Structure 1
Amino acid sequence: MNKQVLLDDVIAQLEQNVVTLTSAMEKTVDAATNEETVPEHKYDTLALEASYLAHGQAVRLEQVKSDIALLRKMVLNPFSSLDNVRLTAVVEIEDEDEVVSRFFVLPCAGGLTIEEATIKVVTPHSPLGKALIGKSIDDEVVVSIGEKLTHYAIIHLY
């Protein structure tokens, strides 16, 4: 498994997010500053709401750019069957129904899916990521989401 290819895919998806966010932010700024959105009375808050949205989009855009910079500096460590899960590991887990899933442990970009390899990015801040960090092959991991407990077994580490 070539983790550099996986990481490059994650970075490419984030770069596409930058393009999308930039376009959306430009449209929102236009809406906030357009003369047609000038308030007609004190309850007309369209321009104000658009400016709040533009600010939120700008903050998200900077976060995505920061994530890209962080991922470009990542050193991808090789893992053996004796290692514990940590950043840059690709972890294969099996649930109670014998369904196998793979996760790429990264410091950011959680939730993205690398389609070609059907691998999801998980961060150490997520419930599953927290449960995986420090574990090794054959360890059981229990994740609580809402009131449901799900048991997984770590079956492979790359």
Structure 2
Amino acid sequence: MDKSLLQQLVLTRLEADLQAAAHAAQVAHETATHEENIAENKYDTLGLEAAYLATGQARRVEAIRQAIAMWRQLNLRPFAEESGIALGALICLVDEHATEQLLLLGPNGASMKLLHDGQTIQVISHEAPLGKVLLGKTVGDDVSLRIANSTQHFEILWVQ
């Protein structure tokens, strides 16, 4: 599987998210500053609420911009057995029910599912619980992840 194509799919999705978030921030800002939303009394909070929303949307825009920058800088190297799983790795895990899943381990800000060649690839951050467990591991290693009251066990089938 072509990891550079997967990286491009992530960037395309992030750029679409950025456009949507920027539009939402603009609309919230316009609402907050519109003359009809000037408070007439202390209970008239529409303008204030819109200002809070605009601030949150602006932060979201900045977070997506940072994620795009990190994904653009991501160097997709071939898997090296001696160094183990690192950022940019494409990993196939199998659980105790023989269910396989594909993961693309990347920087923060792009948790998503990609569909490529009929396969679903879950993009996860290296700081996500499963991402942390996988760092440094290699093919054939078993990993366990405790979520709430249950523990999930996986074996690493292959890595690219």
Q: Tell me if TM exceeds 0.5.
A: yes
Q: CA deviation at 1:107?
A: 1.1
- The answer to whether the aligner puts 1:46 opposite 2:42 as a matched pair is no
Q: Which residue of 1 aligns with 2:62?
A: 62
Structure 2: gaps (5+ residues): none
Q: CA deviation at 1:83?
A: 5.2
Q: CA deviation at 1:110?
A: 3.8
Q: Tell whether the 8 Å contact from 1:80 to 1:157 is kept in structure 2 after alignment.
A: no
Structure 1: gaps (5+ residues): none
Q: Which residue of 2 aligns with 1:156?
A: 158
Q: Which amino acid is 2:111 matched to?
A: G
Q: Which residue of 1 aligns with 2:7?
A: 7
Give the aligned CA root-mean-square deviation in angstroms: 1.4
Q: Tell whether the 8 Å contact from 1:124 to 1:130 is kept in structure 2 after alignment.
A: yes
TM-score normalized with structure 1 length? 0.93
Q: CA deviation at 1:82?
A: 5.8
Q: 1:137 aligns with which of 130, 136, 139?
A: 139
For residues 95 and 81 of structure 1, the distance between their equivalents in structure 2, rounded to whole angstroms, comes to: 22
Q: Which residue of 1 aligns with 2:72?
A: 72
For residues 99 and 24 of structure 1, the distance between their equivalents in structure 2, rounded to whole angstroms, comes to: 39
Q: CA deviation at 1:80?
A: 5.1
Q: Post-superposition, which runs of at least 4 consecutive aligned residues in structure 1 deviate over 6 A?
A: none
TM-score normalized with structure 2 length? 0.92
Stretch of structure 1 that moved more, 86-95 or 63-72 = 63-72
Q: Tell whether the 8 Å contact from 1:81 to 1:156 is kept in structure 2 after alignment.
A: no
SS at match of 1:102: strand
Q: Which residue of 1 aligns with 2:17?
A: 17
Percentage of pairs with the same residue: 34
For residues 37 and 91 of structure 2, the distance between their equivalents in structure 1, rounded to whole angstroms, comes to: 50
For residues 110 and 84 of structure 2, the distance between their equivalents in structure 1, rounded to whole angstroms, comes to: 20
- The answer to whether the aligner puts 1:31 opposite 2:28 as a matched pair is no
Q: Which residue of 1 aligns with 2:85?
A: 85
Q: Tell whether the 8 Å contact from 2:86 to 2:136 is kept in structure 1 after alignment.
A: yes
Q: CA deviation at 1:16?
A: 0.2
Distance 1:109 1:115, change over 3 A: farther
Q: Tell whether the 8 Å contact from 1:127 to 1:145 is kept in structure 2 after alignment.
A: no
Q: Tell whether the 8 Å contact from 1:93 to 1:152 is kept in structure 2 after alignment.
A: yes
Q: CA deviation at 1:96?
A: 1.4
For residues 83 and 98 of structure 2, the distance between their equivalents in structure 1, rounded to whole angstroms, comes to: 23
